Structure 1
Amino acid sequence: MAESREWAPPASGIPVPAGWPASAATHMALNGVGGFDWDLDRDRVHLDAQALRVLDVLPEEFDGGPRAMLSRLAPDEAAAVDRTVKQALAEGHASWGVYSRLTRRDGCRGWIRLRGRVVRDDAGRAGRVIGVVIDATDELAQAAACLREEEDRPTESNLVVEVTASLARAVTVRDVTAALTGNRRMDRLGIASLFLGQVEGGRVHVVSDAKETSWVPELQYTRIDDDYPMSEVVRTLTPRFITSPEEFARRYPGLWPHIEPLGPSAAAYLPLIAQGKPIGALGLLYRHKSTFSPQERDLLIALGGSIAQSLQRAMLFDQEHDIAQGLQTAMLPRTIPDVPGAGIAVRYRSARLARDIGGDWYDVVAVPGGKVAVVIGDVQGHDTHAAAVMGQLRIALRAYAAEGHPPASVMARASAFLHELDTDRFATCLYAQADPATGATLVVRAGHIDPLVRQADGSVRVLPTSGGLPLGLSAQFGLPEYPVTAAELAPGETLLMFSDGLVERPGADLDDGVRLLAGALRDGPSGLQNLADHLTTVMGEPATEDDMALLLLRREGDVAQPPARRRHQHVAPGDPRALAEARAMVRDAMAEWDMSDRADEAELAADELITNALVHTDGGAVLTLRLLPDPDPDPDPASVTAPAAAPAHDDAGPTRRVRVEVHDLAANWPRRRRPGDDELSGRGLLLVDRLADAWGVEPHGSGKSVWCEFHGPLRPSDTPAG
């Protein structure tokens, strides 16, 4: 590093050269070199005038002794010089040299260099030391600066390499800013603050700064014709390097009051140019820096070129992503209907790649009878065609649900609709119809992932559902039937339906993603909207290349109130003991629930339903008794096969219900018929029709459930307060 000083008149006592060439004394005096002659025999030292100035010793203070020559040195420094001289003399060296620190009379500290030549006689005995004393303060500072420059040069080169590698992976403008502000080498290089500006409509918009303490709101938007360094480099396409606070304040008086609190000593502003046009600017503020070497300037300009290319690519990506996301969002429901007795939260996240418009969707439809249908679906593919198919399929499925078709019929019709479209795409779908009043829920799955249920106590379980082929394929292969899984949501329980983009990760098993989602659902907040945000945040990192949708359905009500009480009994074929135990369970339950007056009827009806299941189907049957707190105001017309006559024993007051269900694995549904007088069978459903207040058949998983209900007066304890 070359040393450069401003001109100053020679110090007092230094002769000005009159002739040419100058004398040796003039050479030494003008370059801060003094001479000494040390007589070892007499232990006396002679110092010339320049040596006295370098050692900062006044002529009247110097008595000619070696100790006086080193009076400005600390005792340990003077002792080190003495040891060096004695070692050179004892070991027969021809010369010696040493650097030492001294403190001048004004309190400033500096360095001197002593170098002497030992003069010996013919016998080799040392008699004199003739040498020079040099002011080495600038020399050592210059050497240290050179060493630092050599050390910083690979560090700066590594910074450019690391940032360039990070920018190669950057996709969005946020990724570009993270690549710049997240590199720790910037702190080690003394970069106190970093500002990235983006040209937007004749203005420079600062989109990122390296540290929160560096944020200057007044500089977030500046016009290109303003007198600011970012605006200037965008106008001129020329870098600007500032090497002192005074220069900063002089060049940019309007900016300096905002920048001064950051404490910069130097700054570099670089235009970001892509395809010959300025797209932004980069500002770097330094501390403890006062110059930029040519190598540093070249490295920073190269860094600006890499940033410009990445920023242009990221800006194009963000524009495409906004267009894609806007198109996708326009095809989703704008509002979610309010459903009495239920809370609903939905979320959608677009794919990470801008052009990948996904086919995921959700929907919420109010259906007749106070029920609600919720849907999650995913059309195959990630393009505009998938989004278009999704929009058509969502509208069709919504129409079928709103017309009141049963869940299996809704899915079958939607599959036929998709098959008739001029497309080769199929779609997975999960459809659930819930009654918030009772919690009764019917779920149909078409090639989709099983839903999860978060129970009132916070535990999470998978809700296994029987599934059919994806929509479009079932109609194509002539398999339009979709099995229906019956479930019940207790008050406070939450059903989670989601698309595979929420749980799929490249190179990871799908079950691992479902387990991660279950943990997030279990540990999430209680509020429904906050829970949806929590799931999106946890499962959104790392972001995937697929879009995702999720839907939360919670049955509201008093969680402290116990759900409908149930009893189960499995009856195997050919097991008379199990049939007897089932009858006993019916009688005990009716007595426990204060329905003893209907116990005989319930026991006989249960016996008939179990017998029909064992006789007309393969395998056993499952008997379920449920105490329901209040009557169903509007039975599902799609599931009731034969309404029973109004019983004479019912009064007009409030009632409670006991439902008897027999579940088997057969798909054929029972028929009520009128047998002849000589026939021995066919009277089971007639008997159930006479005994029960209502009966019907519902799809249940891979089979069906035949049920009947018995009503009784509502107990005072069952009546809610108020």
Structure 2
Amino acid sequence: MAEQGASSLSLSEDWPAHPDPILALNRMGSFDWDLDAGLVHMDAQAHRIFDVTPEEYDGRPDLLGDRLLRSDRERLDSLVARTMKDGRENYGGYVRVRRRSGTFRWTYVQGYIRRDDTGRPRRIIGIIRDATEELDESVARRERAARDTARREWTNVVEAATTALARAHTVQDVIDVVKDTHGLALLGARSLVLGLVEGDRIRLVAEGPEGASVPGTRVTRVDEPYPMSEAVRTLAPRFIESPEDFAERYPVLWPHLTGLGITSAAYLPLIAHARPIGGMGLLYSDRRGFSPEERDLLISLGSSIAQSLQRAMLYEREKDLAQGLQQAMLPRTIPSVPGADVAVRYRSGYAYGSLGRDIGGDWYDLIPLPGDRVGAVIGDVQGHDTHAAAIMGQLRIVLRAYAAEGHAPATVMARSSVFLHELDTDRFATCLYAEADLSTGAVQLVRAGHIDPLVRKDDGCHRVVVEGGLPLGLSAEFDSLEYPVGTMELGPGQSLVLCTDGLIEWPGTDLDDGMRTLIESVVEGPEDAEQLADRLIDLAEERGSDDDVALLVLRRRGPGEAVARRPDPAAQGPAPSRP
């Protein structure tokens, strides 16, 4: 027997060794398959590899085939048949042999086909060997390499998501980052759901792909038996390793997922300042379980999302508060003026990260005056904070009062400067006041450190140079309350454009270039006051300046010209402005 030869082989035996102990020592067996008789002879080592005894093996190849995994048997039969048909002599391949214990052993089968003089296959002589350790190590290497690759991919996704989340300003920005399908694909998730805590409930705000959420779970209670609710309630992630695990732990939810092929899931609490603000679920259809590294990466991703959500919520809340305060300081409505079309706009340059402190003091106003006259005001209080907005509100009211009392434009400006100085705020304000007689077109202009106005005529747009005085507050402090009055004529169909410097200043551009760009925009813009104001404020929006913009367009109508249709102030909100 081969095994006896192997056990008796010693260094003192004659050289070279017999083939039987050589095969046995290398855990190889041999076989001889008589194709005419349909019988396979195997040596003892081959019996051990196939885990059959000589007594129970009768030489029929079907008995050996039954020991193979069905897919491997079909693959091996196809390989042998193809080798014979192609006229080749050798074949080889790996198959799995089922042992008596029910476990499988990887086995390598190699055969040599012997033919007669006509080329007909008559016998197959070959070897078989136990390849379990060989393939286990190879599989282990491949699995380690796959895990390393997956870990790198997951790490890259988490790092990319964290970078994108750092740039997210609003809750919707965060949702857009989380829903990014490329990131989901790299993480391997089949679908994703994201919910925010609202009192004792969780409301889903995102799902990917669309329709990924289970019907009836868009709003759930924190105390309900759902994995996201449990993660939020306990502040601990829930990793579901298998379908069986899912069905056992969450029997209420699992029936809704059985048709989706879900094999595992991760539900993460979104925690900020030790308080749950939401939860996220990642569902998988091609994996079971999570390695410690994968769990750590998912928890890290959840932490980044929670921090970004908290920051975005605070930003939006403070932004709403800031804009609400600023809008409250602006006039709620702009009165209709016979003989003119007036459009006003306001754009907040709220800077991300300022958390409500970066609100400016830009304002506009339109003051009806006796005798077909109207006063148009544009101004900007120094600073970007709630103090600037509060001063702006007071200054707007007193300037309006001085003008309504019938004071001349220069006096209105001087008295407003004294008022601001007496507030003892250490703030100053730039301002431009234009008083127009719409029956004649005569306009008086007074400028306190503000940028010049523009006038749009048939031959283009021109800058109206107005000799100015010091900004409000400073002129009173330095006892220089003389404000020169400039004059111009606003003809029928012509427009006067007043704005704050946020419309001509943006990074990388000086004031002269900004003014030229504004003039070009006015020339190319529509004649209608509302449409022109829309165009100008949209340009400011496109540039993304972090400075506020206040804008007033006053267009004198021609004789018999119909009144331009104005937006309904009630539909526009508390102020006729565009945030």
TM-score by length of 1: 0.57
Cα distance in 2 between the residues matched to 1:81 and 1:164: 60
Shift of 1:299: 0.8
SS of the counterpart of 1:325?
helix
Cα distance in 1 between the residues matched to 2:230 and 2:295: 18
CA displacement, residues 686-716 of structure 1 (integer Å, 9 cap, x when unaligned) = xxxxxxxxxxxxxxxxxxxxxxxxxxxxxxx
Q: Report the equivalent of 1:504.
A: 505
Q: Which amino acid aligns with 1:468?
A: G
Of residues 73, 91, 103, the one that matches 2:79 is 73
SS of the counterpart of 1:415?
helix
CA displacement, residues 481-525 of structure 1 (integer Å, 9 cap, x when unaligned) = 23314142542x444322223443344434454455556656667
Greater shift after overlay, 328-337 or 241-250?
A: 241-250
Q: Report the equivalent of 1:359.
A: 361
- State whether residues 452 and 495 of structure 1, in contact with CA within 8 Å, keep that contact through their aligned partners in structure 2: yes
Q: Report the equivalent of 2:270.
A: 272
Q: Report the equivalent of 2:399.
A: 397
Larger radius of gyration: 1
Identity of aligned residues (%): 49
RMSD of aligned residue pairs (Cα, Å):
4.7
1:697-716 matches, within 5 Å, as: none
Cα distance in 1 between the residues matched to 2:544 and 2:51: 74
Q: Report the equivalent of 1:180.
A: 178
Q: Which amino acid aligns with 1:552?
A: V
- State whether residues 441 and 489 of structure 1, in contact with CA within 8 Å, keep that contact through their aligned partners in structure 2: no
Q: Larger relative contact order (C-alpha < 8 A, sep ≥ 6)?
A: 2
Shift of 1:393: 0.9
1:212-251 matches, within 5 Å, as: 219-243=217-241
- State whether residues 94 and 109 of structure 2, in contact with CA within 8 Å, keep that contact through their aligned partners in structure 1: no
Cα distance in 2 between the residues matched to 1:520 and 1:305: 46
Cα distance in 2 between the residues matched to 1:251 and 1:336: 62
Shift of 1:296: 0.9
Cα distance in 2 between the residues matched to 1:431 and 1:446: 9
Shift of 1:406: 3.3
Q: Which amino acid aligns with 2:161?
A: V
1:36-435 matches, within 5 Å, as: 36-37=30-31, 46=41, 58=62, 71-73=77-79, 99=93, 114=108, 129-132=126-129, 146-182=144-180, 184-209=182-207, 219-243=217-241, 266-340=264-338, 341-349=340-348, 351-352=350-351, 353=354, 354-435=356-437
Cα distance in 2 between the residues matched to 1:559 and 1:35: 111
Q: Report the equivalent of 1:488.
A: 490
Aligned length, in residue pairs? 491
Cα distance in 2 between the residues matched to 1:534 and 1:262: 50
CA displacement, residues 351-389 of structure 1 (integer Å, 9 cap, x when unaligned) = 222222321111121111223222221101122322222
Shift of 1:344: 2.1
- State whether residues 90 and 110 of structure 2, in contact with CA within 8 Å, keep that contact through their aligned partners in structure 1: no
Shift of 1:546: 3.0
Shift of 1:295: 1.4
Q: Which amino acid aligns with 1:371?
A: R
Shift of 1:235: 0.8
Cα distance in 2 between the residues matched to 1:453 and 1:257: 70
- State whether residues 358 and 386 of structure 1, in contact with CA within 8 Å, keep that contact through their aligned partners in structure 2: yes
Cα distance in 2 between the residues matched to 1:533 and 1:78: 82
Q: Which amino acid aligns with 2:178?
A: L
Q: Do the aligned partners of residues 137 and 364 (structure 1) sit closer, same or farther apart at CA in structure 2, a change above 3 Å counting?
A: farther
Shift of 1:528: 5.0
Cα distance in 1 between the residues matched to 2:214 and 2:456: 46
CA displacement, residues 244-269 of structure 1 (integer Å, 9 cap, x when unaligned) = 56765775566568878987554321
Cα distance in 2 between the residues matched to 1:444 and 1:154: 66
Q: Do the aligned partners of residues 359 and 138 (structure 1) sit closer, same or farther apart at CA in structure 2, a change above 3 Å counting?
A: same
- State whether residues 245 and 264 of structure 1, in contact with CA within 8 Å, keep that contact through their aligned partners in structure 2: yes
- State whether residues 436 and 555 of structure 1, in contact with CA within 8 Å, keep that contact through their aligned partners in structure 2: yes
SS of the counterpart of 1:444?
strand
Cα distance in 2 between the residues matched to 1:204 and 1:323: 25
Shift of 1:134: 6.5
Q: Which amino acid aligns with 1:72?
A: S
- State whether residues 375 and 431 of structure 1, in contact with CA within 8 Å, keep that contact through their aligned partners in structure 2: yes
Shift of 1:79: 9.2
Q: Do the aligned partners of residues 84 and 73 (structure 1) sit closer, same or farther apart at CA in structure 2, a change above 3 Å counting?
A: closer
- State whether residues 203 and 224 of structure 1, in contact with CA within 8 Å, keep that contact through their aligned partners in structure 2: yes
Q: Do the aligned partners of residues 298 and 76 (structure 1) sit closer, same or farther apart at CA in structure 2, a change above 3 Å counting?
A: farther
SS of the counterpart of 2:502?
helix
TM-score by length of 2: 0.69
Cα distance in 2 between the residues matched to 1:258 and 1:456: 69
Cα distance in 1 between the residues matched to 2:218 and 2:234: 20
Shift of 1:408: 3.1
Cα distance in 2 between the residues matched to 1:286 and 1:117: 43
Q: Do the aligned partners of residues 304 and 404 (structure 1) sit closer, same or farther apart at CA in structure 2, a change above 3 Å counting?
A: same
1:567-716 matches, within 5 Å, as: none
Cα distance in 1 between the residues matched to 2:260 and 2:178: 19
Runs of 5+ unmatched residues, structure 1: 1-32, 63-67, 86-97, 103-110, 119-126, 562-722
SS of the counterpart of 1:405?
coil
Cα distance in 1 between the residues matched to 2:130 and 2:79: 13
Q: Report the equivalent of 2:99.
A: none
Q: Do the aligned partners of residues 238 and 61 (structure 1) sit closer, same or farther apart at CA in structure 2, a change above 3 Å counting?
A: closer
Q: Report the equivalent of 1:609.
A: none
